[in-house]
Amino acid sequence: MIELLTPAQLDEMRPAGRFVASVLAALSEKAAVGVDLLDLDALAHDMIRDAGAESCYIDYHPSFGAMPFGKVLCTSVNDAVLHGLPHRYKLRDGDLVSLDFAASLNGWVCDSAVSVVVGTPREEDVRLIDNAQEALDAAIAVARPGNRVGDISAAIGAVGRSHGLKINTQFGGHGVGRTMHGDPHIANDGRAGRGLPLKPGLVIAIEPWFLHTTDEIRMDEDGWTIRSADGSRGAHVEHTIAITEGDPIIMTARD
């Protein structure tokens, strides 16, 4: 079911967005050579507890998951791009890591992701992150009344293809509100002018993710972590936004 929120409800959701943004900012600063992925998860867990929030991940068990997720943060490193299950691994110089985090505060959910390079960056990794951010910015720019979900998907796909990237459409954006995942699904490529009309009060998470040289993916042995099929690295960025009568509101803005 798709729910359109009132302006008052959007105001109620803002603290959840600010909280998610603050956690990702702290995690991005903490991520460094020698830091363990489990330490990042523990930091997010502490911040959830201190804020009186609730994790959207720890008991999450969709049909594609092998078991309840069991952690509060997704940490996807190098050739992993989505749903990375935190495990005992110390970050190394040059690692590309995606940090994906969603939480509920006061009954409202926001969801966001950022990709960072730890230590000495590789030029191609920085470029891939920039490509994903460019796609996210382009998608947010068309998230206005009168447009459709297909316009968001088409904007993401156009940016990806302009940089010579192939686009996977199996996992993408989604509705957000009282729960983490809802309708509509927002693929990372599509046809403009198609799909659900965008109306004020619609809240969605837009999440472009790109791989260097493939659009094929495989599931890791942990039953959660999604990796590129050819070992190439991936970047993933995401914001929760609200459609309004004018400019969209970026609920999870980190600046």
Residue at 201 is within a domain = yes
Nearest alpha-carbon partner for 139 in 129, 131, 151, 130: 151
Residue at 136 is within a domain = yes
Across residues 95-100, what is the average pLDDT?
98
Across residues 170-179, what is the average pLDDT?
96
Q: How many domains does the chain fold into?
A: 1
Q: Give binding residues for substrate as ranges.
A: 83, 181
**255, burial (CB in 10 Å: exposed 0-12, middle 13-18, buried 19+):** exposed
Q: Give binding residues as ranges.
A: 83, 100, 111, 174, 181, 207, 238
Q: What is the pLDDT of residue 64?
A: 78
Q: Global pTM? A: 0.96
Across residues 136-157, what is the average pLDDT?
98
pLDDT per residue over 214-236, tens digit each? 999 999 999 999 999 999 999 99
Residue at 68 is within a domain = yes
Residue at 255 is within a domain = no
Residue at 13 is within a domain = yes
Q: What is the pLDDT of residue 65?
A: 79
Is the pLDDT assigned to residue 255 strictly greater than 80?
Answer: no
What is the residue range of 192's domain? 7-250
Q: What percent of the chain has pLDDT over 70?
A: 100
- Per DSSP (E only), the strands in 136-216 are 173-175, 182-186, 203-206, 209-211
Is the pLDDT assigned to residue 191 strictly greater than 80?
Answer: yes
Q: Give binding residues for a divalent metal cation as ranges.
A: 100, 111, 174, 207, 238
Q: What is the pLDDT of residue 182?
A: 93
